[in-house]
Copies of this chain bind each other. A is one copy, B any other.
Amino acid sequence: MAPPALLPRASTQGDKREVILAAALELFAERGFHGTAVPLVAEKAGVGAGTIYRYFESKEALVNALYQKWKGELLAQVTANFPQTAGAREQFSVIWRRLAEFVLENPHVYTFLELHHHGSYVDAESRAIENRLHDFAVGVIRKAQAEGVLKPVDPELLLTLVHGAFIGVLRACREGRLAVSLEPFLAAEPSCWDLVRR
C-alpha cells in the first residue's frame, strides 16, 4: 500500500513504543508522575490503554525507560567528540552550547529529567546514567582547575552553580520571562564563565 514500504513492520512496531514515550514525556513533564494517569498517556499517544502494558511492564517501568532514554541521549550529545585538548574556556563554551541546543531541540526533556530526579520510583540504572554525566563534568572541572583557570574551590560547588544557573535560564524560558531561543542562553554564557573562572 505504501509505495516505498521497505521496512513496514519494523517502522510501525517501533513507532508505537516511541509514540507512547513521546506522549508520556510531555505529560510527565507537565503534570508529574503521580499526576499523570496511564489512560491519559494512552489517549495522547493515540493507543489503547492496554497497549501501554505491552511495551512497559508498569507505569514505573515507563517512567524509568523514559528517564534512561533521555539521560543517555543527553550524555551522548554533551560528551560526543568532546574537545579534550581544547582550553577550559572553549570546553566550557562547548558544553554550555550543547546543553542549550539540547533543551531547545527537546523542549520537555530537561523539565522531565529535573522533575523526576528525586522520585522514589526512579531505579538504580536510571541513577547510574545520571552519575556518568556528573562524573564527566567534574572531570572537566578538575582539569581546568589544575590548569589554574577555574576558581580553586570544591568542583562540586562550581558544577552545581553553573548547572543551577543553566536550569534557571531554562525555567525562565518555560515561564515566559525569557525568550525561548538560543539567545538568552548565549547571553548568559559569558556571565556564567565569570562565575567559575579564576
- Among A166-188, those with CB < 8 Å from B are 166-169, 171-172, 177-178, 184, 187-188
Q: Do A192 and B156 have beta carbons less than 8 Å apart?
A: no
Q: Do B187 and A195 have beta carbons less than 8 Å apart?
A: no
Interface centre among A30, A33, A154, A157, by most chain B C-beta atoms within 10 angstroms, is A157
Measured in the bound complex, the distance between the Cα atoms of B116 and A35 in whole Å is: 12
Q: Do A157 and B35 have beta carbons less than 8 Å apart?
A: no
Q: Does A32 reach chain B (CB closer than 8 Å)?
A: yes
Give the interface size bracket for A toward B. Answer: 35 or more
* A178 partner residues in chain B, CB cutoff 8 A: 154, 156-157, 160
Q: Does A120 reach chain B (CB closer than 8 Å)?
A: yes
Nearest residue, chain B, Cβ from A156: B177
Measured in the bound complex, the distance between the Cα atoms of B30 and A30 in whole Å is: 18
- Among A74-121, those with CB < 8 Å from B are 118-120
Measured in the bound complex, the distance between the Cα atoms of B159 and A177 in whole Å is: 11
Chain A 38-73 interface 0/1 with B at a Cβ cutoff of 8 Å (1 = within)? 000000000000000000000000000000000000
